[in-house]
Structure 1
Amino acid sequence: MSPFNSYFNGPRLLRLAEWALRRFPHVHFFVPDTAAAYTLEALGYAPSRARHKAQRQGRYVHNKICTALRELGVREPESLVLGMDRLHDTPRYTRLLDEAHLRFRRDEDFRAACLDASHWVLDQKLPPGTAPTEEQLRGAVRYFLAELPLFADAGGIAGHRPSFFVYHHRVAFLERFFRHELGWRPVDGQGFLVVRDRTPDAPEEQQPAGAALAGEVARGIG
């Protein structure tokens, strides 16, 4: 759950959490809270202000998740939230993070794919018609590299395999990653699932693909 992503509002989060808890024996919520400062710095925030803003928004997202989970009867919701501080205390995560940075430095194709993913993120935040500079991309890619271990082995990090990393839309980098088109690939048993919240009042033919699309993506690139 990206800290500054308005998609994850309270009601939608509650529905998605209920969906996940009913279908999977183990569920965790990944919040790249402090890592969000890298994107803010790339957008022009001073480092200290970027850290403060990311921490404040991260706490808000953590609280929102815990509120939803308590409403669903989860007794210790904090245990299901993976923020960056907790991840950096997890050996499996730190080993994978080191590998991500190493491959970024040494593998030209992998580096280009990571920078392209960061370009896609910044394109959504910069003024229309503005392209990110090389310096901005190099700063923002630190956020993406912080996420990569969860794509590679979320199950190993959380302690439960096999595993799916769940998001609400398809990402070009991840399609290549899970099709084994890059120099680094996910571990066996790690998949990527696209799950979209259905609009309650929309006719069926106008609905997002939802679980049907999720199953298709899981089979295709998981």
Structure 2
Amino acid sequence: MFEIEPLTERCRGLMPTAAHICIGVSPFNGYFTGPRLLRLAEWALRRFPHVHFFVPDTAAAYTLEALGYPPERARHKAQRQGRYVHNKICTALRELGVRDPDDLVLGMERLQRTPHYTNLLGEAHRRFRRDDGFRAACLDACHWVLDQRMPPGTGPTEEQLRHAVRYFLAELPLFADAGGIAGHSPSFFVYHHRVAFLERFFGRELEWWPADGQGFLVVRDRTMDGAGARRPAGAAVTGEAPGGDH
């Protein structure tokens, strides 16, 4: 059903003892269809004792603002899409017999009430302000996404990148220690693409790296059908812009 690839050898070493998985589900990404979410949930619940889905719902407004949406419109659109994605995940979990599916979904409001998340978020912002190499890597992770949405022959401005990077920084605590945030370790964060920043992050090439018990799995649906299937690496992890409302 799925091709499963640990991002690094260090990640591979966590596989026998992993107790938790956190599946990243990007707003506005057509890859995450209802049937695919059902298959992901079924696989995760069968393989791991503890499962969460991460939806960076309201944080998606940062990318929309970078693309020119007025802040109020960006927030409304992000919240609306976040509810839509949240409901799709819960529908899949209910179909699999999960009694309280909302408990397994980590949205931004819930995370912002979680001290370990907020501490890691503060660390991500401190690193971004003070570490030139880390800042450059984060901005580069956002550059490609905005490039795909700019008029031909143009690229994102520094101001646009500064807007968009707030989305990426909001995700970073989950990459750094999803298990610590959820209270279960060792843990894997899961996405369906390799991302250059995360290869460096999990490869310990930057000045900040994940917790010892945190890994990353690239989990690809072998069917690879759906609107998001052929998107190049990194498109949605860093806040891909929408194709339409739901």
Same topology, TM > 0.5: yes
Amino acid corresponding to residue 188 of structure 2 in structure 1: F
Could you tell me which runs of 5 or more consecutive residues in structure 2 were left unpaired when the two chains were aligned. 1-24, 231-246
1:35 lines up with 2:35 in the alignment: no
120-129 or 185-194, which deviates more: 120-129
> Among residues 144, 161, 166, which one is paired with 2:185 in the alignment?
161
**How far did residue 169 of structure 1 move?**
0.6
- Residue 115 of structure 1 is matched in structure 2 by 139
**How far did residue 200 of structure 1 move?**
8.1
- Residue 82 of structure 2 is matched in structure 1 by 58
1:14 lines up with 2:35 in the alignment: no
> Among residues 185, 195, 202, which one is paired with 2:219 in the alignment?
195
Helix, strand or coil: the match of 1:196?
strand
- Residue 214 of structure 1 is matched in structure 2 by none
Helix, strand or coil: the match of 1:193?
strand
Structure with a larger share of its residues in helix: 1
Per-residue CA deviation, residues 125-181 of structure 1 (Å, 9 max, x unaligned), is 334433111110000000000000000000000110000000001000000000000
Whole-Å separation in 2 of the counterparts to 1:125 and 1:63: 27
Structure with a larger share of its residues in strand: 2
Helix, strand or coil: the match of 2:106?
strand
Normalising by structure 1, we get a TM-score of 0.88
- Number of matched pairs: 202
Normalising by structure 2, we get a TM-score of 0.80
**How far did residue 195 of structure 1 move?**
0.2
Helix, strand or coil: the match of 1:28?
strand
Whole-Å separation in 2 of the counterparts to 1:21 and 1:32: 21
**How far did residue 123 of structure 1 move?**
2.3
Runs of 4+ in 1 over 2 A off after TM superposition: 123-130
13-22 or 134-143, which deviates more: 13-22
Whole-Å separation in 1 of the counterparts to 2:224 and 2:194: 22
